[in-house]
């Protein structure tokens, strides 16, 4: 974590043929935003220029080519040209070239944040299938970053001003979910969420709701026994560790009655019972945050939106929210670090 006057925010372009550049351009179009941080986009000035022409409401927006974030200039949109000059855009079409470009930009940004050249990382959407075809080897950003930073475990924590939600299992087929849910995995996610809420969001002692796997929380075992055999024992063990975990709650009633407003975070067992209501509640300003990493990484809560690419219609609010969320988390981490240092200093002097 740096002590720069303005944080340097790294932003990867995502898939070259998706809406990544459009939402980046729109998010950075207000010059006042450059007083808050220094943006460094990992991609191509050529692609930036191409997509800028597709956004008619933006007339003047200059970018500056640099070789590395070490050359970044304040109050400018800096672009690390890490892609070949031959790169070209085919908006709306997933291709091997656009997938390779996404991988290259991501690898370059990760290398530079490891070197301390940028302070936070924001990733624009990728086409997971196209990247898989190019040998990416990970279901998405979350798993790639967990591996890149050697984190024992991470949690995809969806955040907004109204709700924070994590999942026990991520991007896996539905048929594989029940066998992937274990007491230890639930505990690991609860530990990560608790620590992240304290360290990254300034919550003194988080209250975390845990959702069920089966309809109606299994109806006492009639509709499944995972609640009795796995989820309830995990909640009890978490409570013994001092984690304020509650549940399990059936997702339909939990979200339908807005019970999420009574908790600092919610833990769902798998993707759709958590992310479907999350995006209904907070699609416009939702942010995907990877909790458990040594760095701050956020992303918009949507995909490449190929059907909108190149048409100037993409909504940049989630990208803007991802940028501001990363800055808030960075500030909270700094405050947490100083608090821990003061505690150590106080205990040493007493």
Q: Do 99 and 15 meet the contact criterion of CB atoms below 8 Å apart?
A: yes
Pick the range with the lowest mean pLDDT from 56-65, 182-191, 284-293.
56-65
pLDDT at residue 317 greater than cutoff 90: yes
Kindly state the percentage of the chain with pLDDT values over 70. 99
Q: Do 159 and 52 meet the contact criterion of CB atoms below 8 Å apart?
A: no
pLDDT digits (tens, 9 = 90+) for 140-166: 999 999 999 999 999 999 999 999 999
Q: Output 169 or 31, whichever has higher pLDDT.
A: 169
Q: Kindly report the number of other CB atoms within 10 A of residue 262's CB atom.
A: 11
Average pLDDT score over residue span 64-81:
96
- Which of 3-12, 306-315, 325-334 holds the top average pLDDT? 325-334
Mean pLDDT, the chain, rounded, equals: 93
The dihedral region occupied by 258, where left means phi > 0, alpha psi between -120 and 50, and beta the remainder, is left
pLDDT digits (tens, 9 = 90+) for 169-203: 988 999 999 999 999 999 999 999 999 999 999 99
| DSSP letter string, 326-348 | HHHHHHHHHHHHHHHHHHHHHHH
Q: What is the pLDDT of residue 1?
A: 47
Distance CA 134, CA 124 (A): 18
Q: What is the CA radius of gyration of the chain?
A: 21
How does residue 234 score in pLDDT terms, banded at 50, 70 and 90? very high
pLDDT at residue 338 greater than cutoff 90: no
From residue 296, how far is each of 89, 180, 197 by CA, in Å? Answer: 29, 27, 13
pLDDT at residue 349 greater than cutoff 80: no
**Strand ranges for 168-219 from DSSP E:** 207-211
Q: Which uninterrupted H or E stretch holds 42? A: strand 38-43
Residues 111, 114, 118, 122, CA torsion sign = positive
Q: Output 58 or 237, whichever has higher pLDDT.
A: 237
Q: Which of 240, 270, 239, 273 minimizes the C-alpha distance to 256?
A: 273
Q: Domains plus CATH for the chain?
A: 1-151+293-350 (3.40.718.10), 153-284 (3.40.718.10)
Question: Is the pTM higher than 0.75?
Answer: yes
Q: What is the pLDDT of residue 220?
A: 87
Q: What is the pLDDT of residue 219?
A: 87
Distance CA 51, CA 91 (A): 9
Strand partners of residue 10: 40, 121
Distance CA 295, CA 117 (A): 12
How does residue 283 score in pLDDT terms, banded at 50, 70 and 90? confident
How does residue 277 score in pLDDT terms, banded at 50, 70 and 90? very high
How does residue 280 score in pLDDT terms, banded at 50, 70 and 90? very high
CA dihedral 197, 245, 259, 211 (to 10 degrees): 110
Kindly state the percentage of the chain with pLDDT values over 90. 81
Distance CA 331, CA 329 (A): 5
Q: Output 349 or 330, whichever has higher pLDDT.
A: 330
């Amino acid at each position: 974590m740096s002590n720069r006057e303005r944080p340097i925010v790294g932003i990867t372009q995502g898939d070259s043929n998706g809406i990544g550049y459009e939402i980046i351009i729109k998010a950075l179009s207000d010059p006042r935003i450059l007083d808050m941080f220094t943006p460094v986009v990992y991609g191509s000035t050529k692609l930036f220029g191409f997509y800028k022409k597709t956004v008619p409401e933006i007339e003047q927006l200059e970018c500056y080519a640099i070789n590395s974030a070490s050359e970044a200039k304040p109050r400018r949109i800096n672009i690390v040209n890490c892609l070949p000059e031959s790169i070209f855009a085919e908006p709306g079409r997933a291709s091997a070239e656009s997938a390779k470009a996404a991988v290259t930009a991501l690898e370059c940004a990760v290398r530079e944040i490891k070197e301390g050249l940028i302070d936070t990382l924001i990733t624009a959407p990728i086409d997971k299938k196209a990247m898989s075809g190019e040998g990416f080897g990970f279901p998405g950003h979350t798993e790639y970053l967990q591996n890149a930073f050697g984190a024992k475990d991470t949690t995809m924590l969806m955040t907004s001003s109204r709700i924070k939600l994590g999942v026990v299992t991520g991007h896996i087929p539905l048929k594989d979910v029940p066998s992937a849910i274990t007491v230890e995995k639930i505990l690991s996610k609860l530990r990560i969420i608790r620590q992240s809420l304290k360290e990254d969001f300034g919550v003194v002692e988080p209250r975390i709701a845990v959702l069920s796997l089966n309809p109606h929380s299994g109806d006492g075992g009639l509709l499944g026994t995972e609640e009795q055999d796995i989820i309830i024992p995990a909640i009890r063990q978490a409570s013994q560790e001092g984690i304020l975990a509650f549940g399990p709650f059936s997702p339909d009633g939990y979200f339908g009655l807005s019970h999420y407003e009574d908790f600092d975070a919610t833990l769902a067992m798998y993707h759709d019972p958590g992310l479907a209501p999350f995006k209904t509640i907070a699609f416009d300003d939702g942010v995907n945050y990877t909790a458990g990493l040594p760095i701050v990484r956020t992303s918009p809560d949507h995909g490449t939106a190929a059907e909108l690419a190149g048409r100037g219609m993409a909504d940049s609010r989630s990208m803007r929210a991802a940028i501001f969320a990363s800055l808030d988390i960075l500030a909270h981490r700094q405050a947490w670090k100083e608090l821990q240092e003061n505690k150590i200093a106080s205990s040493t002097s007493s």
